[in-house]
Amino acid sequence: MKFSAEQIAGILEGEILGNPDVEVTGLSKIEEGKIGTLSFLSNPKYEEYIYTTESSICIVNNNFNPSKKIPSTLTLIKVSDAYACFAKLLEFYDTMRKEEPRIEEPSFIAESAEIGEGVYLGAFSYVGRNVKISTGVSIYPNVNIGDNVIIGEGTKIYPGVTVYRDCIIGKNCTIHSGAVIGADGFGFAPNSKGEFDRIPQIGNVILEDNVDIGANSAVDRATMGSTIIRAGSKIDNLVQIGHNVEIGNNSAMAAQVGVAGSAKIGSNVMVGGQVGFAGHQKIGDRVMIAAQSGVAGDVKDDKKMMGSPAFEGHDYKKSYLGFRRLPMILDRLKVLEDKIKELTKD
């Protein structure tokens, strides 16, 4: 689809500097700009590219003042926040690419399932008994929806996802390819023979509204009750969420995080990649945890944690400086010990 600078400025409430009739059919990074594409500039680090880019339109901040001549083929659209406006356009572009409502064949839908209006169901998908799929849901090919699952309006489930029985998925969620929602939690108990007996996992998973689950992530069902990811939280690829975990509103976890069973994580928590959480701990609100940290105990609100085992960031940095100097400190200590021995000789 084609959009003119005038149309884009109207969507973003921006000011046009250049040709309002120039049209674009795609998006590109400013350093890789091509004719007929739209780019954005928000980070001053990339300003040099705006003077050489071949993009036809570029979104910039209101306070942007060129230090060189802008190419005559480039039209600028000035807005209050270039990054946020470009994100808005990406969302709009993604919406335009949404699959048309239809049910592809072959697919299986149980007779007792309820399918709302405007649903897209891709080929080779399975919809179990008593499933309720709301209006505007998109389920891509090769998705398995177990019995009694409820899926809220506008949710998108990409190819290869499995949602086990009894799980509840809220409105406008996104679940990316390969994710598994509601597999058994890791529940086993050793018996007198030294073998492991399986503990049945009879709970479910609840994803509240506007939750994102990344590709190949797993959210385990509760032993009893629910594993809960609350509204607005974002889970990256390759993340493991254990049974009976609760994650608060608008928290975010980067790739390869592992959360052991029954951990309670607060709202607006930011977690870097490869962080590990021990089970049964409580993490407060607005906590920030650096990548590769190992969190072994409770953390109070507003703390910044680093290291393994993790402790407060400013203390970790001081300790790390000491650790890096440890070889020199040991050498100096050896010299001092030798001097003391020399002074104390009989």
Is the per-residue pLDDT at 15 higher than 80? yes
Q: 310 and 275 in one domain?
A: yes
Tokens found for residue 81:
């926040």
Tokens found for residue 197:
């007996």
User: The pTM is what?
Assistant: 0.81
Q: 211 and 109 in one domain?
A: yes
Please, what is the end-to-end C-alpha distance for the chain in angstroms?
A: 94
| Confidence (pLDDT) at 249 | 98
pLDDT band at residue 168 using 50, 70 and 90 as cut-offs: very high
267-280 confidence digits (pLDDT tens): 999 999 999 999 99
- The CATH number that applies at residue 192 is 2.160.10.10
Q: 113 and 73 in one domain?
A: no
The residues near 113 (Cβ < 8 Å, ≥ 6 apart) are: 127, 128, 129, 130, 131, 132, 133
The span from the CA of 123 to the CA of 125, in Å, is: 5
The span from the CA of 252 to the CA of 272, in Å, is: 9
Q: 287 and 337 in one domain?
A: no
Is the per-residue pLDDT at 255 higher than 70? yes
Q: Examine the residue annotation and report whether 176 is marked as an active-site residue of this protein.
A: no
| Confidence (pLDDT) at 124 | 97
Q: 119 and 85 in one domain?
A: no
Domain boundary, last residue among 73, 96, 119: 96
| Confidence (pLDDT) at 274 | 96
pLDDT band at residue 75 using 50, 70 and 90 as cut-offs: very high
Taking all residues of the chain, what is their mean pLDDT, rounded to a whole number? 93
272-320 confidence digits (pLDDT tens): 999 999 999 999 999 999 999 999 999 999 999 988 777 676 777 777 6
Is the per-residue pLDDT at 346 higher than 70? no
Give the domain range for residue 218. 102-315
| Mean pLDDT across 122-144 | 97
Number of domains making up the chain: 3
Q: 270 and 164 in one domain?
A: yes
Tokens found for residue 92:
């709009």
Asked if residue 199 lies in contact with residue 180, where contact means CB atoms within 8 angstroms, the answer is no
Q: 340 and 296 in one domain?
A: no
CB 152: neighbour CB atoms within 10 A? 22
Preceding omega of 159 cis (within 30 degrees of 0): no
Q: 90 and 136 in one domain?
A: no
The span from the CA of 203 to the CA of 201, in Å, is: 6
Q: 338 and 290 in one domain?
A: no
C-alpha angle 224/228/233, rounded to 5°?
165
Q: 237 and 155 in one domain?
A: yes
Q: 115 and 74 in one domain?
A: no
The span from the CA of 276 to the CA of 260, in Å, is: 8
- Of 176, 243, 280, 314, the active-site residue reads 243
The span from the CA of 335 to the CA of 290, in Å, is: 37
Residue of 161, 243, 157 lying closest to 206 (CA atoms)? 243
For helices 326-343 and 313-324, the axis angle rounded to 10 degrees is 60
| Confidence (pLDDT) at 210 | 98
| Confidence (pLDDT) at 240 | 98
Asked if residue 118 lies in contact with residue 136, where contact means CB atoms within 8 angstroms, the answer is yes
